[in-house]
Amino acid sequence: MNFESTELPGLSLVMANRHMDSRGSFVKTYQRQCFSRNGIDFCAGEEYYSESVKNALRGMHFQLPPVDHEKLIFCLRGSVLDVCLDLRKESGMYGAVHAVILSEKETTGLFIPKGVAHGFLSLEEDSLISYAVSTEYSPEHDCGIHWDSFGFKWPSVSPIVSPRDSGHPVFSGFSSPF
C-alpha cells in the first residue's frame, strides 16, 4: 500500500495493490502496521457497505464527539465522486473541500480523519462502497451538512437524495464541535 496526502490535513489517498492471476484478482485494503508506519493509527470498530444507483447522492455525513470517527472508503463496483468537507476549526482548512473519483478500476481508497464530513455521488448504475469506521454507529451522534450548502458544484442537477440528507442543516448555520 502507498499513501498520498491531500490538501486537507489527515485526509489521505490509499493506493492498494492489486494482485492478478488466472483466478482473478486480490486486493488488501487495510493492514494496521502499514497504516501505522504511514502515521495513521486506525483500527476499525465497524464495517459496512452501500449500493447506490446512478445519480444517488449520499452525504454529507459524520458523527459528533465523543463518538466521532475516522473512515476508510473504497469503491468495489462502479464509480463515485467522493467529496470531503473539513469541519475542523483548527485545521487551517475549515470549509475546504476535497473531491476525488473512486472506482472499481482503480484500487485507490480514501482515509478520512475525524471532523471531516463525507459524501458521494454515484456515477454508475450499481456502485458499491465499502466503509470501515473507527467507532460504531450512534444515532444520537449522527449528523450531517446539507449536500448543496457549502459551495461545491456537484455534477448533477437533480441527484437522488434521501429525506434524511435533505434535512441536514446548511453549512453556514453549523457550529462545529471539531
Are the beta carbons of 122 and 77 closer than 8 angstroms? no
Identity of the residue numbered 130: S
| Active-site residue identified among 61, 69, 98, 118 | 61
Active site residue 131: yes
Residue where the block lists cell 472506482: 103
What single-letter amino acid sits at 97? V
Compute CA 40 distance to the chain's CA centroid, rounded to the nearest angstrom.
16
From 30, 98, 131, 168, the catalytic residue: 131
Any catalytic annotation for residue 137? Answer: no
Pick the closest to residue 131 from 80, 64, 94, 85 (CA basis). Answer: 80
- List, by residue number, the catalytic residues: 61, 131
